[in-house]
Amino acid sequence: MPFHLAVYSASIASAAANVQLAAITDPVIAPSALGYLVPPVISQVIRVLPVGNLLNRCQLNSASIRDYTPFDVNPVSVGTLFESPVREPWLLDNPIPLRTNEELDVFVTNSAATATQTSVGVVFADQPPAPFKGRMFSVHWTAAVTLTANAFTAFTPVLDNGIPSGTFALVGLRARSAGALFARVVPRGGAPYRPGTTAIQGYDGGQNWQDRYGHLGVWLSFTNTTLPQVEMFSLSADAAQDGFLDLVQTA
């Protein structure tokens, strides 16, 4: 099941309802005004991940969504970083269908007029995820890259231990950095989509259970010589990262 994490993020100074949040630059999904054009193939929204320390409302809007009414997202994570567990609406069994190439916009409401960074992750997919079962193992990785604040920064993770020769399915991700909000993986070959989820900031950080051990199905496939990169979106210029890849050997 291909899926892709896209992020809207901006410093919002207004407390007025429905302030539009800008989509950040994404090499896979085309921009349109302050939103994204819904990509072909992955035209359903399976997750919405809002976070902001003054955030109290989040809303999705597009031409097809307006056939009914703008989609109010609840719950949201109130805080500079995601709460543990992450607050998100349960859409995995019943995604939001969109029309290819329509503009998807995100609006937020903050509780005060103080300027603050507010971010919303949107995960596009082609269908509801089907869990993947197989003999799994997890490998720990590290990195020492200075992240660019409020943007995705890509790097190659360094595994503590080598993996066998062969082909592997990535079926889960855990990524930690001091100010990170989101993490996704960059394939080397194949479909361009960059599957991802929320990041953690401490070793005891709580992700939602579907992020690990095959619950979202196969994120992507790779060989032992084509390890995918990791991208992290952070609020700060962190210089140390680590995490885990959940893998199943398929060939």
pLDDT band at 112 (very low <50, low <70, confident <90, very high): confident
Q: What is the model's pLDDT at position 102?
A: 98
Q: Between the CA of residue 63 and those of 38, 84, 196, what are the distances in Å?
A: 11, 33, 26
Where does 136-249 sit in CATH, by number?
Answer: 2.60.120
pLDDT band at 84 (very low <50, low <70, confident <90, very high): confident
Q: Coil, strand or helix: which one is 148?
A: coil
Q: Between the CA of residue 110 and those of 7, 11, 248, what are the distances in Å?
A: 18, 11, 42
* Tokens matching residue 203: 């070793």
pLDDT at 60 over 80: yes
Least confident of 1-5, 26-30, 112-116: 112-116
Q: What is the model's pLDDT at position 66?
A: 97
* Tokens matching residue 47: 């997750």
pLDDT per residue as tens digits for the range 124-134: 999 999 999 88
pLDDT band at 85 (very low <50, low <70, confident <90, very high): confident
Q: What is the model's pLDDT at position 190?
A: 83
Handedness of CA 118, 95, 174, 231 (dihedral sign): negative
* Tokens matching residue 81: 């970083």
pLDDT at 245 over 90: yes
3-125 and 136-249 share one CATH topology? yes
Peptide bond into 131 cis (omega under 30): no
Domain boundaries, the chain: 3-125, 136-249
Average confidence (pLDDT) over 48-71: 96
Mean pLDDT of the chain: 95
Average confidence (pLDDT) over 12-39: 93
pLDDT at 230 over 80: yes
Average confidence (pLDDT) over 58-81: 96
Q: What is the model's pLDDT at position 79?
A: 93
pLDDT band at 121 (very low <50, low <70, confident <90, very high): very high
Where does 3-125 sit in CATH, by number?
Answer: 2.60.120
DSSP sequence for 69-89 = --EEE---EESSS--SSPP--
Contact residues for 17 (Cβ-Cβ < 8 A; gap 6+)? 57, 109
